Amino acid sequence: LGPILAAGPMSSLAESNQANWRTFFICLGLIGTSLTVLVFLLVQNKQKNDHFKLLSKVHSLKIGIFQLIREKNVWLIGLYSSLVYFSLQYLSENEGKRYIELQGFSPIFSSYMISIAWLGYAIGSPILGLISDLLKKRKLIMWVSSILSLTALISIVHFPYSKELLVFWFL
């Protein structure tokens, strides 16, 4: 939620001079403190019975890490996820907002496009994970996702668009 709220809504408030960065951080601190108090008050650590059933043999952490390191698919999925996250992070932190502004859109709208991109990431990742689990075709889902992302990027960079179409491509 941080990047989703930081780009659009916080940028709008800052631009309209309704709040400055100190006000944002004080509000965030109060929200975090409130959530911490709620967790301590509401979350209870109750156990219904004192007996545990082990469903699998417990291995040492060291053995589990070495097994994970040896898996080629883990490395490929990690690399894929890192590249997706890196490109979105770079877009939001460096060039995305400025590029959208240079296309003739307002700074506030440009900030909201960054929020939309993070919202798409937050919603799309679990949905793609669910689809790949249901279909048992992880590679296919990764390829389709990559092709759709490349299509969206090419469309954003090379074709004229309206606000609605830009929201669609960023989502």
Q: 27 Cβ partners below 8 Å, 6+ apart?
A: 19
In angstroms, how far is the first alpha carbon of the chain from the final one? 15
pLDDT in tens, 43-92: 876 656 566 555 566 667 788 888 888 888 888 888 888 888 888 888 77
- Whole-angstrom distance, CA of residue 65 vs CA of residue 10: 40
What's the pLDDT tens digit per position in 90-131? 877 778 888 888 888 888 888 888 888 888 888 988 998 899
**Using an 8 Å Cβ cutoff, are 8 and 115 in contact?**
yes
Please give the model's pTM, rounded to 2 decimal places: 0.64
Q: Please give the structure tokens belonging to residue 109.
A: 């709208």
